[in-house]
Amino acid sequence: TKKALIIPAAGSGRRMQKETPKPYLKIGGVSILEQTLRPFVLLSGLRQVVVATSDEYLGVAQQILESIFPEKVETCVISGGEERQHSIYNALQELTSVDLVLVHDAVRPFVAKQHIEECCRVADQFGAAVLGVPAKDTIKRVDDQQFVQETPNRAFLWQTQTPQIFRKELLEEAYEDAIRHDFIGTDDASLVERLGKPVKMVKGSQSNFKITYPMDLELAKLRINN
C-alpha cells in the first residue's frame, strides 16, 4: 500500500509557556519534530510526507525533512491554519495518489514502529484506525459549571493518540463534510465518525504521549537520556 504522512506542526504551544514552538524545542540534542519523524523513515510504501507549520519555520522544517528521508520520498512543507484541523485540511490539498494517509502529531516522538505498522494494517482492512490506550483514570462528563453530568463506564473509554490512519478518499470526504458543516473536531477520527463510518482503535502504549505541558517535556528528556 502506498502511504502519505501528514504532520501537523503549526501549534502555538500556549500551554508550554515557551517562545519556541514545541516541535522545534530540542530533546537529546535533536528537535522534537525530527525525533517524531524518525520512526516513519523506513515505513514500507511511504511515498510522501507533508508537514504543516508556522510561516517562520517553513525553511527549518524543510531542512529537517530533507536530512532524514531518502530521496524517493516526496517531502513538502506548507503553512498551517488556525486550528489543527485547518492545518491538516491544507496538507490534504498537497497529497498525490496514495492509498493510506497517516496523520501524526509533531509532538509525539515516542511512537513504536510496530504500532505504526499494526495501525496501517487495520486501516487497510477497515478504512480507519486510530492508536490509543484504555483510559487510565475515571472520566467524568461535566457541564459548563463543572458539575458532573455523567460517569461513562471506563471499560469502554480509550484515550486517543496518533497516528490516525485512513483510506485517502474517506479522510478527504470527512474533511470536506466537516468544512461544509463548520464542524471542528479535536482529532481526525471524529470527522470520519460523523459520516457513520467505522473507526477501529488499535492498542498502543502509554509511551506515545503528546508533549503538551512543561512536565511532558521533562518526561521526554528523561526518556531520551535513558
Interface residue list for ligand C5P (CB under 6 A): 8-11, 23, 52, 80-84, 87, 105-107, 210, 212
In whole angstroms, how close is the CB of 86 to ligand C5P at the nearest point?
6
In whole angstroms, how close is the CB of 109 to ligand C5P at the nearest point?
11
In whole angstroms, how close is the CB of 88 to ligand C5P at the nearest point?
7
By C-beta, is 194 or 210 nearer to ligand C5P? 210
Helix and strand numbers, DSSP H then E, in the chain: 7, 11
Torsion sign, CA atoms 184, 48, 93, 170: negative
In whole angstroms, how close is the CB of 9 to ligand C5P at the nearest point?
5
By C-beta, is 10 or 77 nearer to ligand C5P? 10
Question: Cα torsion for 10, 144, 182, 172, to the nearest 10°?
Answer: 60
In whole angstroms, how close is the CB of 87 to ligand C5P at the nearest point?
3
By C-beta, is 23 or 127 nearer to ligand C5P? 23
Please report, for residues 73, 88, 156, 189, the alpha-carbon distance to residue 96 in angstroms, rounded to integers and kept in the order given.
12, 15, 37, 21
Torsion sign, CA atoms 6, 12, 15, 17: positive
Could you tell me which of 159, 154, 186, 15 has the C-alpha nearest to residue 84? 186
By C-beta, is 8 or 39 nearer to ligand C5P? 8
Residue 152 DSSP SS3: coil
By C-beta, is 126 or 166 nearer to ligand C5P? 166
